[in-house]
Amino acid sequence: MAPLLETKNLKKYFKTKAGMLHAVDGIDLAINKGETLGVVGESGCGKSTLGRVILHLLESTDGSIFYEGKDVTSVTPKELVKLREHMQIIFQDPFSSLNPRMTVSEILVEPLIISGKFSREEIEKKRKELLDTVGLPKRYANSYPHELDGGRRQRIGIGRALALEPDFIVCDEPVSALDVSIQAQILNLLQDLQEERGLTYMFITHDLSVVKHISHDIMVMYLGQMVEQAPSDELFAHTWHPYTKALLSAIPVPDAHRRMQRILLKGEITSPVNPAPGCRFYSRCPYAKEACRQPQKIEEIAPGHFISCCMAKEINGLG
């Protein structure tokens, strides 16, 4: 199966007074149609920047982006408008991402109006359909965002993303600002929509329990780079990279009689500004050796399971 979305050596650097900040540095990924790629990592690792670069909310520094096999790395404004119909985003903050001066109805139909392809009758019909699709009662149609709770606001954001019937949606931590019970409702809604419409997601989060629940494949990022990627069940069953091991050890266990084996990382975090060419986890890794100071190669150590660590086999008793 050819992937719906693919990136090759994708990079995004920001110029700072101290030098170039490597926010996204050489990311290769592929997402098949109808599937979800979960992207996890600690705050500041470049997850959200990666999603925004793919959608051209930020322009890439280097590398390539392919959508349905077509190179969309550099597109004209006219081509970008067309691309927006196929690629959308659900933002993390369900309040600041909504215009406080617009009603729910106005927010939902704004993409339809901007596209210029729909009549008034079609827009009105679509408005009702979107309210129903995301589970918002019609009585909220003329409400403003500040009058609603976080869960309903995020439903508006989901409805807006669905307005032009896209194929691919970047979900940028869509449940991190919500209560746990509301998180479950939003996750179930996203999964139902994926099943009904064949949607493809990039699901960005720092919550490993959530990403396991919703993802087909998971990519772990650290300071702008991919350190491990595998099918969801495979990653949790056979974890190779020491950083991924530390992340998984932080997941709470709902058992008062089971002792948690936390892996506590020590050492200074490598600066993402003009980083050295070696492994960026070097300064915090308990297994680091001199070889880790050299550029790391991405190796497929099992079908679909990729890792960037020269010490991985030795760490896992295979070296």
- Residues 299 and 312: their CA atoms lie apart, in Å, by 10
Position 153 in a domain: no
Q: In degrees to the nearest 10, what's the CA dihedral of 214, 216, 220, 224?
A: -90
- Residues 97 and 207: their CA atoms lie apart, in Å, by 21
Per the structure, the count of domains in the chain is: 1
Whole-model pTM: value is 0.93
DSSP H or E run through 187: helix 180-197
Position 279 in a domain: no
pLDDT digits (tens, 9 = 90+) for 78-87: 999 999 999 9
Domain that holds residue 50: 5-86+166-237
Position 275 in a domain: no
Is the model's pLDDT at 319 over the cut of 60?
Answer: no
- Residues 253 and 259: their CA atoms lie apart, in Å, by 9
Position 28 in a domain: yes
pLDDT digits (tens, 9 = 90+) for 191-232: 999 999 999 999 999 888 888 889 999 999 999 999 999 999
Position 253 in a domain: no
- Residues 68 and 33: their CA atoms lie apart, in Å, by 9
Position 249 in a domain: no
Position 292 in a domain: no
Position 243 in a domain: no
Is the model's pLDDT at 105 over the cut of 90?
Answer: yes
Cβ–Cβ < 8 Å for 290, 276: no
| H-type alpha helices, 147-179 | 150-162
DSSP H or E run through 15: strand 5-16
pLDDT digits (tens, 9 = 90+) for 3-60: 999 999 999 999 999 999 999 999 999 999 999 999 999 989 999 999 999 999 999 9
CATH number at residue 221: 3.40.50.300
- Residues 264 and 247: their CA atoms lie apart, in Å, by 10
